[in-house]
Amino acid sequence: MIEFPAHPITPIGIIHSCYPQKFGIPRQPGLVKSSTGRLALLPPCDREEMVRGLDAFSHLWILFLFHGAVAEGWRPMVRPPWLGGQKRVGVFASRSPHRPNFMGLSVVRLMGIRREKKGLFLELAELDLLDQTPVFDIKPYVPYSDAVAGAHGGTIPPPGMVPREVLFTDEAEESCSIYEQRTGRQLRALITETLEQDPRPASQRRRAREYGMALWEVNVRWQAEGEGFLVVRIEGVEKGE
Ligand code: SAH
């Protein structure tokens, strides 16, 4: 047995994101520019001096727990979505949440740092994180070293090469406007960019059906329409004053 100092790790903060459920979350950060949220720093890490200087950076590394995958466990091999859900690779050759220790790593955009009565918050965008994700560490993204020129991505292709049109019914359009006025959040852009990534599992792409996708506190109902998508309606938006 190799000896090392025992060191329990506890979260330094919790993510509040636009994705309350796993379905619809993009496969990597940066794919959906409008996916926003905030990291609420927890004591003793909610002190302003601990983030002093961080606002000089546009992006951060977030090291987190795939808390929503723990109950499902992990396997030595996985079927990643970029292989159409058919072929298997080793879990360590994948970015699957179902891995030993369930550790996740994402580069996210830092929009600002806010001190409020309720605590200290990092405002974030370009997220691929489930709401309530526990965060263990944050580090500034350092392009000269972290962006490796000439690196090749194994067999993982960049997704979303097929441009997909996202249309809204009048009813869905109206719900977006009402929601945006009430909250100041860019719901329409979030829906469009999230659907452009085609969240459907590879096995279901041939089936005609309506999907429900939770974003913030609303439920977006949509279906495939030709090569694109139609947003049918948005449930949970209070109409009228
Ligand atoms: N950038 C990260 C995550 C890649 S996997 C990494 O490479 O480690 C991205 C998927 O993780 C998303 O599609 C979402 O379904 C899932 N996910 C995000 N946060 C999660 C969480 N807290 N628990 C379980 N799954 C999560």
- Burial of residue 152 (CB within 10 Å: 0-12, 13-18, 19+) is exposed
Q: How far is the CA of 104 from the centre of ligand 1 (A)?
A: 7
Determine the atom of ligand 1 nearest the C-alpha atom of 95: 7
Ligand 1: atom nearest CA of 69 is 24
Residue 5 pLDDT > 80: yes
Q: Which atom of ligand 1 is nearest to the CA of 106?
A: 1
Q: Which of 6-10, 17-21, 113-117 has the lowest mean pLDDT?
A: 6-10
Domains identified in the chain and CATH numbers: 13-146 (2.40.30.70), 166-235 (no CATH)
Residue 206 has a pLDDT of: 78
Contact (Cβ atoms closer than 8 angstroms) between residue 166 and residue 70: no
What is the structure's pLDDT at 90? 95
Across the strands, what pairs with 115? Answer: 120
Contact indicator for 78, 91 with CB cutoff of 8 Å: yes
Please state, for a pLDDT cut of 90, what percent of the chain lies above it.
Answer: 79
| Residue 187 near ligand 1, beta carbon < 6 Å | no
What mean pLDDT do residues 109-117 have? 97
**CA 135 to ligand 1 center in whole angstroms:** 12
| Contacts for 86-94: CB closer than 8 Å, 24+ residues apart | 86/202, 93/154
Q: Is residue 80 predicted with pLDDT exceeding 90?
A: no
Choose among 16, 27, 15, 32: nearest CA to 217.
16
The predicted pLDDT at position 222 comes to 98
Taking the centre of ligand 1 as the mean of its atom positions, its distance from the CA of residue 128, in whole angstroms, is 6
Burial of 151 (C-beta count, 10 Å sphere; 0-12/13-18/19+):
exposed
- When pLDDT is averaged across residues 15-44 and rounded to a whole number, the result is 96
Share of the chain above pLDDT 70, in %: 95
Nearest to 129 by CA among 20, 226, 11: 20
Position 62 pLDDT exceeds 70: yes
If you average pLDDT over residues 172-195, what whole number do you get? 97
Is residue 161 predicted with pLDDT exceeding 80?
no
pLDDT of residue 152: 83
Regarding the beta carbon of 95 and ligand 1, being less than 6 Å apart is answered yes
**Burial class of residue 112 (count of CB atoms within 10 Å of its CB; 0-12, 13-18, 19+):** exposed
Among 16, 17, 18, 25, which is best to mutate for testing ligand 1, by the most ligand atoms less than 8 A from CB? 25
Residue 241 has pLDDT above 60, yes or no: no
- Kindly provide the residue ranges of all beta strands, DSSP E only, lying in 79-217, ordered along the sequence: 89-90, 103-116, 119-125, 134-140, 166-168, 210-215
Mean pLDDT on 2-26: 95
In this structure, are residues 180 and 191 in contact, taking their beta carbons and an 8 Å threshold? no
Task: Please give the pLDDT value at position 160.
Answer: 58
Ligand 1 contact, 97 CB (< 6 A) = yes
Pocket mutation for ligand 1, best pick of 39, 60, 66, 96 (most atoms within 8 Å of C-beta)? 66
* Alpha-carbon separation of residue 73 from 86, 89, 202 (angstroms): 20, 17, 22
